[in-house]
């Protein structure tokens, strides 16, 4: 049995450090402007602003969860948790995706209630707050995009901010329509559009986080092709019990039972397979059990004909 662990913990630590700085800065921006948008939404009686404020509140919660999950993922492994708490990031992403769905449902319920009797909306104040929200979300999205890393957890936080940016733009559009035409139904209708955009942004986060938790093969990596590539390595005769999964986003792993020819060097073949997996598929964490094919068959046959065998 052999393991390959060329994973770079120093690189992971630096990536998480950058992610924490970015998440902290964006959390401060989002939390501060949430208060502004709630006050603006109440004063102008705009559902679009309140919807966006609700989403920004969920952003703040999501960013807080992302920060906690990033910190937990850095805790060292233990005897009972050999991978540490790396999957805390995936759980954080799943929570954030579910929060997006909840916010979208709230927006739909509120918007439908307002369609029959839309309240008077102060378009000027609504426009000013929505423009400020657009600017804040542009800055937050830029920070996460440039410095936030590529993990699923930070990606979920980034999707929150992008969805909120779309919400701010929707509020700007609703304010312009109300100011130009006086059509008050624009506020709940555009709020529903914001809800649809939020639902769309939640799909990728939920799909990817559930996929990791169910230990599916990483997206873009076909396990059958990995197996075919392993069998094509000189000396490999069979590959059994092949498993390819993600411990957390960006950390794929593989385990397999490999049978080689009776005259082949097990260790040399194993090193060749590990090298191929690293170069072709980016699989750095591999666990390979390597046996000679003939010896394996003899062992099975001996077990079958042993006195205690049924």
Round to whole Å and give the CA distance between 36 and 156: 24
Round to whole Å and give the CA distance between 140 and 122: 27
Please enumerate in sequence order all residues whose Cβ is within 8 A of that of 302, keeping only pairs 6 or more positions apart, or say none: none
Round to whole Å and give the CA distance between 68 and 22: 13
Residues present in the chain in total:
310
What is the Cβ-side half-sphere exposure of residue 235, based on CA atoms within 13 angstroms? Answer: 17
For the stretch 51-91, pLDDT in tens is 777 777 777 877 787 788 777 777 788 888 877 888 887 88
Strands 2-4 and 251-260 turn out to be: unpaired
> Which is it for the CA torsion 71, 74, 139, 49, positive or negative?
negative
* pLDDT band at residue 245 using 50, 70 and 90 as cut-offs: very high
Please enumerate in sequence order all residues whose Cβ is within 8 A of that of 310, keeping only pairs 6 or more positions apart, or say none: none
Query: Among candidates 62, 85, 61, 83, which has minimal Cα distance to 72?
Result: 85
Structure confidence at residue 7 (pLDDT): 47
Structure confidence at residue 15 (pLDDT): 65
The structural domains of the chain, ordered by start, are: 8-213 (1.20.1510.10), 223-304 (3.30.70.1350)
């Amino acid at each position: 049995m052999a393991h390959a662990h060329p994973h770079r913990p120093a690189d992971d630590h630096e990536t998480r450090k950058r992610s924490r700085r970015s998440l902290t800065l964006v959390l401060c921006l989002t939390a501060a402007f949430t208060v502004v948008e709630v006050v603006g939404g109440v004063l102008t009686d705009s559902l679009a602003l309140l919807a966006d404020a609700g989403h920004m509140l969920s952003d703040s919660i999501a960013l807080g969860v992302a920060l906690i999950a990033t910190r937990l993922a850095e805790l060292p492994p233990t005897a009972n948790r050999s991978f540490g708490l790396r999957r805390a990031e995936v759980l954080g992403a799943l929570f954030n995706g579910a929060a997006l769905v909840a916010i979208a449902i709230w927006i739909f319920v509120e918007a439908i209630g307002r369609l029959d009797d839309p309240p008077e909306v102060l378009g000027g104040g609504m426009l000013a707050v929505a423009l400020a929200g657009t600017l804040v979300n542009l800055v937050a999205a830029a920070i996460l995009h440039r410095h936030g890393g590529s993990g699923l957890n930070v990606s979920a936080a980034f999707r929150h901010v992008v969805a909120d940016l779309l919400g701010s733009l929707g509020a700007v559009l609703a304010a312009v329509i109300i100011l130009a035409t006086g059509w008050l139904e624009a506020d709940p209708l555009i709020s529903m559009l914001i809800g649809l955009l939020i639902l769309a942004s939640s799909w990728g986060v939920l799909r990817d986080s559930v996929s990791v938790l169910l230990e599916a093969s990483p997206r873009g990596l076909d396990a059958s092709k990995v197996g075919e590539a392993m069998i094509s390595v000189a000396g490999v005769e069979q590959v059994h019990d092949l498993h390819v999964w993600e411990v957390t986003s960006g950390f794929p792993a593989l385990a397999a039972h490999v049978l080689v020819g009776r005259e082949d060097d097990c260790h040399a073949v194993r090193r060749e397979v590990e090298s191929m997996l690293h170069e072709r598929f980016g699989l750095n964490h591999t666990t390979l059990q390597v046996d000679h094919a003939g010896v394996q068959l003899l062992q099975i046959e001996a077990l079958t004909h042993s006195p205690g065998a049924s």
